[in-house]
Amino acid sequence: MGTVRKWIIVCRTIIGVPDYDRYVRHMQVRHPGAPVMARAEFARARLEARYSRPGSRCC
Amino acid sequence: MRSARTVIIWGLIAAIGAGALGRVALSRGESINAAWLLTAAICTYLVGYRFYARFIATKIFALDDDRATPAVRKSDGHDFVPTNRWVVFGHHFAAIAGPGPLVGPTLAAQFGYLPGALWIVIGVVLGGAVQDFVILCSSVRRDGRSLGQMAKDEIGPVAGITALVAVLGIMIVLISVLALVVVNALKASPWGTVTISLTVPIAMFMGVYLRYLRPDKVLEASAMGILMLGGALWAGQWVAANPALAPLFTLTGPTLALLIMAYGFAASVLPVWLLLAPRDYLSAFVKIGVVVALAVGILVVLPPLSMPAVTQFVDGTGPVFSGKVFPFVFITIACGAISGFHALIASGTTPKLLARETDAKLIGYGAMLTESLVAIMALIAACVLTPGVYFAINAPVAALGTTAESAALAVQQWGFVLQPGEMDALARSVGESSLLSRTGGAPSLAVGMAHLFDRALGGGGMALWYHFAIMFEALFILTTLDAGTRVGRFMLQDLGGQLWPRFREVTWQPAVWMASAIFVALWGYFLYQGVTDPLGGINSLWPLFGMANQLLAAVALCVGTTVIIRMGKARYAWATLLPLCWLLVVVLTAGWQKLFSADPRIGFLAHADRFSALHAAGTLPPGVPSLDALPRMVFNDRLDAAVAAFFLVSVLVIVVESVRVWLGVLAGRRPTASTEVPAQSVTLFAAD
């Protein structure tokens, strides 16, 4: 993995956005054959999940 | 050999820290350099991290890297993801750091820098960081369960429900007081108003870009957003300098309050991708950037502290907020020393990301130490101002009057130096029409930061830096406000759903609109009350917020103590009992004084009595526009008293429930069955 890509993932994780490639890898390793969401679909689903559980925010 | 070296190094760090702390605490008369305060804080943090956090990690929780974390056991590629500990640290810090550690220390600077600094440094090592760390460990051992669930599981249903209702009350007070800070920062400031307003379309542009043009390119969109924020700063300056446009954006407090309520409502009902999520991204980057810039500014400039170590206002007569240094410094500074809200984060997303149990030390304890350092830096930025300027910005109209001359006179009577022309010159240099009585902490912090940035980094001069600081403070606050309103809406829908099941459906628009409107009205009422209060509103609302936050911390520490006792580690329960007892002393004393103090500047009820007497006599107190306003202010005082009483009762209920559980477990009357997920070795789980 290139350094730039590594930093992109770091920055995304810090603001709470999961990495799509990691999800694809996870599905391939753990659930081979199961349907895998497309990138845009994954992004929407994560956003939906993140704001549909009443999380919290600090002062 | 190695152990001898360790002893020498840690002995040195401890000695340097103790020396610096002594210098800070004992210096009288001459002004001391901020470097002493920073050194004292950082050495204390290092010693606390190396020894106390390690003690909690090994003796209490016995953190074990062989024991699989939820991220490893339930790895799903999106929610539960084993993540590098420094990345989790960044995520956790971005989630816990907000406007709290900036505003609280700024307000508490009225006592001088010493009381606030001591509470921030000692409170975090023995209290705040312990709370975050213990709750994080507890949640990691329970599949990332939330604080509310743990309160219910560990203590009982009564404590669980009380915690839930208390959180709702806390959200209302939190949002209203933070919104008040924004209103006071933007009042009569066309530059600030334009800049902040533009952040809304900027976020919407990012939202559309991420939804339709380049899905998932979050960093690309954020980079554009940050560039546009620069543009917004410039646009604000341009509008403020334009005689035709400037009056359109020169707004009064009540107008701004209504606009912010409309914004909160919109953020709650609009789809999250359009406004909430992109604002979140922007705010996280700006937050980390500003914290780093502030640290660089302080390190480069190493300013002397102009504020005395202790001012005469420790006796309770302070103009920024009333009340003696005990208990009010411990209420005013919540975030930065101990903040109950962090317990919600430490039992939210963070426990689902931990790759190894031992990472919890860096993330739970370490991130809170970092937030505490931010609070120390905010205190330094506030104490860079001369006391005269600080009080002229932060004291309400009722104390200063409305002209530069009356303000200078009032400040001189308190024994500080302020020339009548000084505030006008300062206001002009930062591009504002006036800086008198801009209560809430944000403007004085922005002036302090502008001083530091201007000297350290140069650039556009004071005015640009001032508005940059205001922009980022407002950005933080509005991000807390919009997400908080949404959370509050969910909680209301959940509660209302008990009576009318359809109300709970988050896809049924009438319920969404109704719940949003009710929640905005609840915090909006307190906001409006604060905006129209001649004492500035901060005086009554900030203590309520501080009490609420400390109440939540007390709940978290009760949960932590119960977890420790149920683990069979009752002999170490003092680690959470110590801060819990201190918080109880502080919250109960402050609550009692806010309710029953005979001094109308402190006690809500005494203030209500005084104003109803004045109304009966037909006398108008200073700063109140008309006699008709008095009955409403009396009602508001009584309402604030009721809120304070509610918080006190809640904390007592939870403490009593907890103590019953502790005694039951210790006497063997209650089952000690663990609610932890049984330990499983990491070797049982395949890595992704």
Interacting residues of B85 by C-beta distance below 8 A, sequence separation 6+:
B354, B355, B356, B359, B362, B363
A30 contacts B484? CB cut-off 8 A: no
Coil, strand or helix at A58: coil
A13 contacts B94? CB cut-off 8 A: no
B87 contacts A13? CB cut-off 8 A: yes
**A10: contact with B, CB 8 A cutoff:** yes
Closest CA–CA distance from residue B448 to any residue of chain A (Å): 21
Q: Pick from B97, B130, B579: which is nearest to B371 by CA?
A: B97
Q: Which residue has the tokens 């959470």?
A: B576
Q: Which residue of A has its CA nearest to B213?
A: A40
**A37: contact with B, CB 8 A cutoff:** no
Q: A25 to chain B: which residues are within 8 Å by CB?
A: 77, 688
Classify residue B421 by burial, with Cβ atoms within 10 Å: 0-12, 13-18, 19+: exposed
Contact indicator for B219, B226 with CB cutoff of 8 Å: no
B106-162 pLDDT, tens digit each: 999 999 999 999 999 999 999 999 999 999 999 999 999 988 889 999 999 998 888
Residues belonging to chain A? 59
Beta bridge partners of B153: none
User: What distance in Å separates the CA atoms of residue B293 and residue B457, rounded to the nearest whole number?
Assistant: 9
Q: Which of B215, B281, B490 sits opposite A39 (nearest CB)?
A: B215
**Low pLDDT (below 50) residues in chain B:** none
B162 token code pair: 């009380």
* Res A52: pLDDT: 67
Contact indicator for B491, A54 with CB cutoff of 8 Å: yes
Closest CA–CA distance from residue B100 to any residue of chain A (Å): 5
B117 token code pair: 């600094």
**A29: contact with B, CB 8 A cutoff:** yes
Residue-wise burial string across B311-337, b where 16 or more C-beta atoms lie within 10 A, e elsewhere: bebbebebbbbbbbbebbbbbbbbbbb
B342 contacts A15? CB cut-off 8 A: no
Contact indicator for B141, B222 with CB cutoff of 8 Å: no
Beta bridge partners of B354: B83
Coil, strand or helix at B421: helix
Q: B97 to chain A: which residues are within 8 Å by CB?
A: 58
Q: Pick from B447, B463, B477, B459: which is nearest to B545 by CA?
A: B477
**A39: contact with B, CB 8 A cutoff:** yes
Q: How many CA atoms lie within 13 A of B617 on its CB side?
A: 9
Q: B84 to chain A: which residues are within 8 Å by CB?
A: 10
User: What distance in Å separates the CA atoms of residue B595 and residue B351, rounded to the nearest whole number?
Assistant: 39
Contact indicator for B83, A13 with CB cutoff of 8 Å: yes
* Res A19: pLDDT: 86
The dihedral sign for the CA sequence A29, A34, A35, A37: negative
* Res A54: pLDDT: 55
B67-117 pLDDT, tens digit each: 999 999 998 888 898 999 999 999 899 888 888 899 999 999 999 999 999
Closest CA–CA distance from residue A28 to any residue of chain B (Å): 9
A26 contacts B490? CB cut-off 8 A: no
B281 contacts A22? CB cut-off 8 A: no
* Res B459: pLDDT: 65
* Res A56: pLDDT: 53
Coil, strand or helix at B597: coil
DSSP state of B305: P
* Res B224: pLDDT: 96
B590-612 pLDDT, tens digit each: 999 999 999 998 999 999 999 99
* Res B644: pLDDT: 95
Mutation pick from B149, B216, B335 vs chain A, by most beta carbons of A within 10 Å, is B216
* Res A55: pLDDT: 56
Q: A59 to chain B: which residues are within 8 Å by CB?
A: 98-100, 174, 178, 334-335, 339, 341, 480, 545, 549
pTM: 0.94
B277 contacts A58? CB cut-off 8 A: no
Q: Which of A12, A42, A54 sits opposite B218 (nearest CB)?
A: A12
Q: B277 to chain A: which residues are within 8 Å by CB?
A: 47, 50-51
